[in-house]
């Protein structure tokens, strides 16, 4: 049986700040269906629910090196939904309010990577592949080829590294090389970045196979515009780089069984409209089943294309449309949308917060979901929107290209709307076209039918990952 260890710093239902947690929470379950013995290792954060902590069993106490020091390593285990989860227990590094953003993140995650490798012989699990996710788990391929290369336990282990967002790389002063990583200058070439040490680059250089979260993003990051100064290395390793689109956990995101909804539905236009009318009443917007509702649920940051939205907002409001936005982020965007709700009280409802249940009700009530990202490795918003029957309006980048097919009035094919140039007026034209099609009942019904047929479950992606694992260790 293929044995795989996922190394990550987030995983639903234990701890989440973004889409990484959804991937690490859902993909192992699908891989298990493919016959893979997949286990997951995470830091034991303070923020993890006490209910989960009460279920954990302490199985090991020891140490893990950080440079010249030896830090405490505790390992706890919990089995949930037939998946084994290990938790690295060190209160000095992980008993904190948040997950990231501390002055010693370089040390915290250097420790985490060494702790994972030190843990393996102690828990009687020798994986065929260690699958590392994002920069916080990016040192394992480097450590395997340096500190552990002469240890027989580790010599047959292969590594896969998945880039979830190339923008976040883990860049620290070059002094971390000897002080935290315990390596000499001869290893600087694989991690050097503008005179600093780049943790993520270490994985891009040393991992046996590289993946990212959509085919289009795999191509984009080899271009200087998207490559975040690592495009040259990615081009050099293009034969080892594969894009596999993320899926959506269809059990977790199911409008038929979603307890957040007063009117569960699968493809019923009538019940979807009931959700809209209820949300309109809740938000103090005029109740109208026929008025198109446009939604944004996102982090309010430039990457998400919000500068396009703000620049044409007054023109957008000339339409008979309602606009609902949920999210937090940059102050300038928060203030803009607060002001928009003040200026257009009958059309705009702004919520500078995040609440998962409220987000689900917005997906269920809205007719269209706007996601005009500057770049988007995969994106989950458009996948949820498709699942809940809210037509995605996206810019053609990354995973948005791979999951949203523009609707064609002649062939009646396509599951959403898209525009290619990062241009506000191209976006406005596309929104206006979507509104026009919404006002044609027969066309909109055809589009809704196509959205219902969209298959963005993890099934195909899990098969692709499983094939990569087998290729990596030379087993058919």
What are the tokens at 249? 């956990």
Which candidate, 217, 240, 248, places its Cα nearest to that of 374?
217
Task: Write a three-state SS string for 364-393.
Answer: HHCCEEEECCCCCCCCCHHHHHHHCCCEEE
Checking DSSP bridges between strand 209-212 and strand 241-243, what pairing results, if any? parallel
- Whether the CB-CB separation of 328 and 353 falls below 8 Å is answered with yes
- Whether the CB-CB separation of 204 and 234 falls below 8 Å is answered with yes
Q: Can you spell out the DSSP letters for 393-407?
A: EEESSHHHHHH--B-
What are the tokens at 287? 């109740």
Is the link from the previous residue into 382 a cis peptide, with omega within 30 of 0? no
* Alpha-carbon separation of residue 130 from 169, 207, 276, 299, 320 (angstroms): 19, 10, 45, 31, 52
- What is the rounded CA–CA span in Å between residue 41 and residue 86? 5
**What contacts 431, CB < 8 A, 6 or more positions away?**
294, 316, 319, 368, 370, 393, 417
Partnered with residue 301 across adjacent β-strands are: none
- What is the rounded CA–CA span in Å between residue 301 and residue 391? 22
- What is the rounded CA–CA span in Å between residue 282 and residue 421? 36
As annotated, the binding site includes 16
Output DSSP code: residue 136.
Answer: G
- What is the rounded CA–CA span in Å between residue 48 and residue 156? 33
Helix or strand run (H / E) with residue 316: helix 313-316
Q: Can you spell out the DSSP letters for 403-450?
A: H--B--TTT---SBEEE-SS-HHHHHHHHHHHHHHHTSHHHHHHHHHH
Cα-to-chain-centroid distance, residue 382: 12
Question: How many other C-beta atoms lie within 10 A of the C-beta of residue 237?
Answer: 15
As annotated, the binding site for ADP-alpha-D-glucose includes 16
């Amino acid at each position: 049986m293929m044995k795989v260890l996922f190394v990550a710093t987030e995983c639903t239902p234990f701890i989440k700040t973004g889409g990484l947690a959804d991937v690490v929470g859902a993909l192992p379950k699908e891989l298990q269906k493919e016959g893979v013995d997949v286990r997951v290792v995470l830091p034991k954060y303070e923020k993890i629910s006490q209910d989960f902590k009460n279920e954990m069993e302490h199985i090991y106490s020891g140490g893990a090196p950080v440079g010249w020091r030896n830090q405490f390593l505790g390992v706890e285990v919990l089995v949930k939904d037939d998946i084994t989860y290990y938790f690295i227990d060190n209160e000095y590094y992980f008993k904190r309010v948040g997950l990231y953003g501390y002055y010693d993140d370089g040390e915290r995650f250097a420790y985490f990577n060494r702790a994972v490798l030190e843990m393996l012989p102690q828990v009687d699990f020798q994986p065929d592949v260690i699958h590392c996710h994002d920069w916080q788990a990016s040192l394992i391929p480097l450590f395997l080829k340096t500190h552990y290369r002469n240890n027989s336990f580790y010599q047959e282990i292969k590594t896969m590294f998945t880039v979830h967002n190339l923008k976040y790389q883990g860049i620290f002063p070059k002094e971390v090389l000897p002080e935290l990583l315990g390596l000499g200058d001869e290893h600087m070439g694989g991690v050097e970045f503008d005179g600093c040490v780049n943790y993520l680059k270490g994985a891009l250089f040393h991992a046996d196979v590289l993946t990212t979260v959509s085919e289009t993003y795999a191509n984009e990051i080899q271009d200087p515009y998207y490559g975040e100064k690592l495009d040259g290395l990615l081009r050099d390793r293009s034969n080892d780089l594969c894009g596999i689109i993320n899926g959506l956990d269809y059990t977790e995101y199911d409008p038929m069984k979603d307890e957040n909804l007063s009117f569960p539905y699968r493809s019923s236009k009538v019940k979807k409209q009931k959700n809209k009318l209820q949300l309109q009443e809740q938000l103090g917007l005029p109740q109208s089943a026929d008025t198109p509702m446009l939604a944004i649920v996102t982090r309010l940051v430039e990457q998400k294309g919000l500068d396009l939205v703000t620049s044409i907002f007054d023109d957008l409001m000339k339409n008979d449309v309602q606009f609902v936005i949920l999210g937090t982020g940059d102050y300038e965007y928060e203030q803009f949308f607060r002001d928009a709700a003040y200026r257009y009280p009958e059309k705009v409802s702004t919520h500078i917060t995040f609440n998962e249940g409220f987000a689900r009700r917005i997906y269920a009530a809205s007719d269209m979901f706007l996601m005009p990202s500057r770049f988007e490795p995969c994106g989950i918003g458009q996948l949820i929107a498709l699942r809940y029957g809210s037509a995605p309006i996206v810019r053609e980048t990354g995973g948005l290209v791979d999951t949203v097919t523009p609707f064609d009035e002649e062939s009646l094919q396509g599951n959403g709307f898209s525009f290619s140039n990062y241009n506000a007026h191209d976006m406005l034209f596309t929104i206006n076209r979507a509104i026009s099609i919404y006002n044609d009942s027969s066309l909109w019904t055809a589009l809704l039918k196509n959205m219902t047929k969209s298959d963005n479950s993890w099934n195909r992606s899990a098969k692709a990952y499983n094939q990569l694992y087998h290729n990596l260790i030379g087993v058919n």
